Amino acid sequence: MARWGMVIDLDRCTGCQACVVACKAENNVPVVPPEQARERRLMLWMEVIPEVEGEYPNVRARFIPRPCQQCDHAPCVKVCPVQALSTSPEGIVSRVFARCIGCRFCVQACPYGVIQFNWRAPLWPGDLYEALDPDIAVRPTGVAESCDFCRHRFQRAREQARAEGREIRGEGDYVPACVQACPALALVFGDLDDPKTEAARLARGPRAYRMLEDLGTAPKVFYLKEG
């Protein structure tokens, strides 16, 4: 079975935020108005974090796209009291929103800070409401949510492959919305267990590292150092 993973080349990321917008539109992530953003309640499944190193005039800035790290040993899945979170056979951490009791234990357990919470009723002002994807669950107030590698896209790709009477390919059949949208080709997606895929090759390369690797969470998102 495929083990889907993402490789993010920090050398290529321009910080354009196309992945952030694509993700928001794809997954029905609500719009957070400025006053709520000032309360530090921004909701993003994919976020581009600017990191500034050094002091003026020797400044170096870089951008770190941060989706859910999709850990093999996911601390969030472990602590959920009601199994609203689970790891699929393909290793994708995803949620059943109708099950979530809103205890936010997963939010605390995640060392990467990627789990979002619906503090208030979700908003899609104006035409955005019309643009909601009917195939994606709209989350109510009081539940937690996070990136699931666009698992619905995986399911569609798998259906497609089945209809064509073949196995899903480790590369090309399925990519999350952020990967598809990246104009700089900084995001690469594929089966990490299949050495022929670009993602697996890069993940094994000398520039690859994972966030907080020493914690033992075994993320499936790899970063390529600037070289």
The half-sphere exposure of 80 on its side-chain side, counting CA atoms within 13 A, is 24
| Binding characters for another protein, 128-167, by CB under 8 A (x = yes) | ------------xxxxx-----------------------
Candidates 16, 21, 31, 107; binder of another protein (CB under 8 A) is 107
Give the per-residue SS3 of 196-212: CCHHHHHHCCCCEECCC
CA 28 → CA 112, 152, 175, distances in Å?
Answer: 22, 12, 17
CA dist 137 and 27 (Å) reads: 8
Provide CB contacts within 8 A for 155, sequence distance 6+. none
Candidates 11, 33, 61, 101; binder of another protein (CB under 8 A) is 101
Candidates 108, 162, 183, 209; binder of another protein (CB under 8 A) is 108
| Binding characters for another protein, 61-100, by CB under 8 A (x = yes) | ---x-x--------x--xxxxxx---------------xx
Asked if residue 109 binds another protein (CB under 8 A), the reply is yes
Least distance (Å) between residue 25 CB and another protein:
21
Candidates 11, 14, 33, 39; binder of another protein (CB under 8 A) is 39
Asked if residue 215 binds another protein (CB under 8 A), the reply is yes
Residue with smaller CB distance to another protein, 103 or 157 = 103
Asked if residue 121 binds another protein (CB under 8 A), the reply is yes
What DSSP string runs through 151-220?
HHHHHHHHHHHHHTTSPPPSSSS---HHHHH-TT--EEEEETT-TTSHHHHHHTSTTEE-TTGGGS---S
Residues that bind another protein (CB under 8 A): 36, 39-42, 49, 51, 64, 66, 75, 78-83, 99-105, 107-109, 111-113, 116-121, 140-144, 211-212, 215, 217
